[in-house]
Amino acid sequence: MESETETATGIPLIGDEFPDLAVETTHGTLSLPDDYEGEWIVLFSHPGDFTPVCTSEFVAFEDRREAFEARDANLIGLSVDRVHSHLKWVDWIDEEIGVEIKFPIIADESGRVGEQLGMIQSGAGTSTVRAVFIVDPEGVVRQVLYYPEEIGRNIDEILRSLDALQHSDSEGVATPANWPENERFGDRVLLPPPGTREDVDAREAEADAEGYEQYDWWFTLAEQ
């Protein structure tokens, strides 16, 4: 079911269900998110084929593809170019840079998908921005990132975000800034703040026994 926010804006936001989409790609027709049920999706858009920053990003994504796959995450690219443009471009990348792009790229020639996902860049015709949607195995949008046309993405940060989301889901914790390499707290995680006075008392009582570092009942660090 669409959230009120999604219905009003047309753009799926964090916590919304990713919309059902039938898309044409370099790997054939895909149904999103159904074809990846039970797995994570990292869908990212680029302004256009045969452009320098986008080319560097696709090489970087492919260089990390196995790292994403090890986390049960599937990479999918997108731009408003046609399938044959995508195919020619990935051939060029293979021939000139020596990198074979093995993940699918959506051909959104009409701009329909880009419009629906809020990827169309204002004032730039139909060009898609550098957007990233991380979608969980239940088809829920968990993270949305946007980058300007002139700045390439940091692929390691996208991987870090995926790690943090998966760790938070599995352990019921939050992650501090720069986790797992926080300058002050290392790779420790943050326990969710207690919601009742009884929970506060229990947290304080168990802090020593569990080895928590407790600055206060609402700011408690634990080893992961």
Catalytic residues: 54
CA-to-CA separations, 99 to 25, 60, 86, 94, 218, in angstroms, rounded: 19, 10, 14, 5, 48
Residue 123, φ and ψ in degrees, nearest 5 = 75, 10
Give the CA angle between residues 183, 207, 185 to the nearest 5°: 5
CB 167 within 8 A of CB 175: yes
Query: Which secondary structure element, helix H or strand E, spans residue 166, and what is its range?
Result: helix 155-171
Q: How far apart are CA 74 and CA 97, in angstroms?
A: 23
Burial of 211 (0-12, 13-18, 19+ CB in 10 A): exposed
